[in-house]
Structure 1
């Protein structure tokens, strides 16, 4: 009888506790995190991958039942499609400002991030881009603009050095898509080549919509280059690699943070073999947290990391950690705390310079071997170390 009574009381406590937890969750204040990237069009696979990274970060944060400012909070996502277009990016930015988002993860493209950053900064809303690399983004002097990715200046320098030193390029050709990212990366790469004692023998241009590069490649072929650098994204990179081989150009193809994924391999086919590129962060396979994150992606989305989901996850936690430090979700209150955030993320160590750039950005040098991207070396800042098996 006593046991039955005790069980009854325990059941009552459990019901009460469950009810209290439910009520606490029900009364948690919603904190909206904005996200912007191309969710349609040719770069949608990047945008969807980034969005998943943000979603996982918010899932993990909500599972912690955080209290900020003495009140339970529940994070929600406002995801917008900027179509990779600067004008649409600005419209999306104003829309999120009007919706009073607490912070923004985005945008994907440098060309959309730069104009959007001005709108967020005027509104006092912190913005953390997981992928925008053009140096202009953080050279504007804004206090609310950050990125968890290398700038073109660092990646271009690394790529330029590797073209001369690792790939032994004596004559190097460059082609870019004229976007803020593509041209910016190509400019910095060219500087890196010259600083390493190499020579850019030809510089060609196209657009981010082009599918035929034979005119540019025919001119490049006349210089008989050892290395061809591409400043642009993955689908075009795949077409470029294929057309290089069709024209008999045997130069090594090199990129910087743009096509180290399955899309490039599928589009390029056998022409991908031997291609090289620097990509942001450290290989997921080399860290326990990276492998676990990839498995978490597969479990929720039936697909692992496509490209930059880890950076999006880390960018989201930059905002959340700043809110926790400030004990406020008000962007004007927690905003100044963002620059002091420091933690070990999925993509590497997260900490910022005063201008919003990363303190010690990491990057990995990859090569296509037997149809797969294989990491060759890792850089932390300017220090490059080969990967040992």
Structure 2
């Protein structure tokens, strides 16, 4: 089968890009012919890999993203004509959605949905004023809860509707990782949606190596990732586990604010901010952790960090939002807590890390490793091929 993969914002180091690359590798190993066509800022000289550079001017770049990138549109039409794919598979196309969707008409087209942006214009899936889960969609509620600047609302409303129109017209099917997002999409009129979990190729041969009192966070340091709640929880945890340590792997707009919070709570000796870490080096942090915490306040679709943590036999404490409950069974391979609740998060950490509960830790860690075995690339490619065949 000839498959044209389209990607809107490619970098060779990001987690999403690694996931897409692994899909391509898995499909090629089964004999499929793949071309990856993407926007990006890297010079990549590889066969069957086409990169369209973004305009250097910020103004032109934004115009091309929200309207049509003439160079990208022309090159994509040329690629489609010469390759004549059996399937066109779209990934992370929101920044160039019109450029990608207009040329694919009359071809069998599938879109992978990696976040709640398809049903929520802010991508968060929550109300920004009170952090409660939103019923999704665009409307007056977006203004009421401070999710969209009133001056920009007409633009966002138009863009959101245009995106939905072209997708419903030109995309034949969708694949996502969680039942909840599938239901939200169906509520907004999308059809032919498949939902099955992701996979990870990052694995450990150690089922449950006990590492004492080491908490790990991996992700962007953005407001919706909940790292502030985690740091506040740590200030509670140290009252019960004085030697506890937290390693924060990642960078982002909230980094300086989080470091300032750490200092104000006298936690500098307990927290290690690593900054950005190459994807290939993240495995060492999993190996040397006791537990992994995913404290997101937003509606995460299906965080790859959870798959990776489970594959290393690490219990996961995650908020009970988005797709997290699809992966974490409370008390079996981790714990689910309410978002923005530092006390509840601290209680879960103490419960699993306290020296009196070593056997509980070992049991949950073993279950974490066992539960990860179902999330393998072969199962994912099996499901993906089945979806392709039904388009």
Is TM > 0.5 for Structure 1 vs Structure 2? no
Structure having the higher strand fraction is: 1
Q: Which has the larger radius of gyration?
A: 1
**TM-score calculated relative to the size of structure 1:** 0.34
**TM-score calculated relative to the size of structure 2:** 0.33
